[in-house]
Amino acid sequence: MARIRFRQPSILPGFGLTFGFTIFYLSLIVLIPILGLFVKTFELDWASFERIVTGPRFLAALRLSFGASLLAALFNVVIGTLIAWVLVRYRFFARRFVDAIIDLPFALPTAVAGIALTSLYVPQGWFGRLFAPYGITIAYTPVGIWIALVFIGLPFVVRTVQPVLEDFNREVEEAAATLGAPRRTTIARVILPPLLPAILTGFSLSFARAVGEYGSVIFIAGNIPRQTEILPLLIVFRLEEREYAAAAAIATVMLLVSFLILLAVNLIQTWSTRRFGHV
């Protein structure tokens, strides 16, 4: 049959109602606001749009925002997977308590997190004091921004990897061991491959959250133009000037870059699911 059918036959009733609601809701909550962003951006003529998105200050902020977010998400992937492993595979005193601590970065108002992190990492702070004698400053540098982004992104990786790990078939690992695989091989070829889709989801979530993060970063970033200025701050500047179209232009570019990166991650994910099977 050559005709492409919109709906695959299913014995499950209720398609019309639930699908209609889904589309209506997504339009209301997601599509219309984003569409508004694009429409607002088109109020600019090409020349002023180009001027906004090619300025050295914008490009510096773009590099910083996306660079720090990527590095933070990568770091969270490693540490988050490790933490998930510890929480799932070992039984120890106060495990539930440690498990609950993971969610704190979700619950804490971001401004509170930012202020707390800043006061820890300034040269006179508890942690900053340890680095200051070596001439290393953390607060008000890109490193400080990275720390804030690691903080807010950590739960995403732990919480996506954890349930997958819990559902793991332990027999497979035991089989690998009885077949004579060294531990390293078991980790690399038996445990990690099926975890990969979950890890990538955690990476995407952590990254996406970091790119848009304002509240916690703004306190620990120095906000010095072309050095420690993040993209969301540039948007705030434009809003303060009531230059809504310019603000929308910056947001649109951010959205596009994020979309491309997330699309790439999704493709890798599809590939890995196909390669290693669905878990």
Residues that bind other proteins (CB under 8 A): 56-57, 115, 118-119, 122-125, 139-140, 218-219, 222-226, 233, 236-243, 246
Residue (of 122, 154, 128) closest to 140 by Cα position: 122
How many C-beta neighbours within 10 Å does residue 223 have?
14
Cβ nearer to other proteins, comparing 142 with 202: 142
Pick from 75, 64, 112, 85: which is nearest to 234 by CA? 64
CB of 170 to other proteins, least distance (A): 49
Supply the minimum distance, in Å, between the C-beta of residue 45 and other proteins: 15
CB of 241 to other proteins, least distance (A): 6
Toward other proteins, which CB reaches closer, 10 or 124? 124
Contact 83, 158 (CB under 8 A): yes
How near is the Cβ of 189 to other proteins at its closest, in Å? 48
Question: Shortest Cβ distance from residue 206 to other proteins (Å)?
Answer: 25
How big is the chain, counted in residues?
A: 279
For the CB of residue 53, give the shortest distance to other proteins in the complex, in Å.
14
CB of 3 to other proteins, least distance (A): 50
In the bound state with other proteins, the residue whose beta carbon lies nearer, of 162 and 252, is: 252
Q: How far apart are CA 223 and CA 61, in angstroms?
A: 10
| 155 contacts 106 by C-beta, under 8 angstroms | yes
Query: Would you say 115 or 255 has its CB closer to other proteins?
Result: 115
Asked if residue 119 lies in contact with residue 216, where contact means CB atoms within 8 angstroms, the answer is no
Nearest to 34 by CA among 244, 261, 251, 235: 251
Cβ count near 75 (within 10 Å): 18
* Cβ nearer to other proteins, comparing 193 with 222: 222
Burial 119-142 (b: 16+ CB within 10 A, else e): bbbbeebeebeeeeeeeebbbbbb
Residue 137: partners with Cβ closer than 8 Å, 6 or more residues away? 123, 128, 131
Q: How far is the CB of 105 from other proteins (least distance, A)?
A: 21
C-alpha 209/C-alpha 196 separation (Å) is 20
Residue with Cβ nearer other proteins (49 or 140): 140
Q: Which is nearer to other proteins, 88 or 236 (CB)?
A: 236
Q: Which is nearer to other proteins, 149 or 157 (CB)?
A: 149
Q: What is the dihedral of CA 62, 64, 68, 69, to 10 degrees?
A: -20
